[in-house]
Structure 1
Amino acid sequence: MQLLLEVPKNLPDAAQCTPQQFIQEAKLAMAIKLFEMKRLSSGMAATFIGMSRVEFLFELHRYGVPIIDLDQNELAQDLSNT
């Protein structure tokens, strides 16, 4: 599947990057958001953007997204299983 997105010509310049860097950053941002929304696993997100799972997990910090996102109930349940 292919996603076609129109952006203003000056957008990569405004983001201070090349058009190719802008495309990669946009794909990374989309993959991270889908991971954050629990729509993609970290492995699927990494495959989508063409990097290893470990590289993807390291990128999450730049976007302020936690690697593990448990609510209080999930955390309490996880701790009670140890």
Structure 2
Amino acid sequence: MPDVTLSLPDEILLALKLTPNQLGDEMRFAAAVKLYELERLSSGAAANLAGVPRTVFLSKLADYGVSSFRLGKEELSEDMRSA
């Protein structure tokens, strides 16, 4: 897996009260959530990026204001007709 290096001001670590490793984990998870929200990654791929099992990833989406429930317009319309 490739490494990505990001330089951040020390104030960020102080403001968030995180170690560099903790901040890296949090940023990785947040990036995975955003890429999932934008439908650029599946939930499985996003969970892999976040470094957690898929079930854990899906259960934490609400903490970021992202729904784990996805239906397209056609699927939603079909469900509404069937109800």
What TM-score results when the alignment is normalised by the length of structure 1? 0.84
Partner Cα distance (1:65, 1:27) in 2:
16
Partner Cα distance (2:72, 2:44) in 1:
22
Give the corresponding residue for 1:3. 4
1:58, distance to aligned residue in structure 2 (A):
1.1
Residue ranges of structure 2 left out of the alignment (5+ in a row): none
* CA offsets 1:1-50 (integer angstroms, 9 cap, x no match): 33221111221221122221111000000000000000001111111121
State the superposition RMSD in angstroms. 1.9
Structure number with higher helix proportion: 2
Instruction: Report how many aligned residue pairs link the two structures.
Output: 81
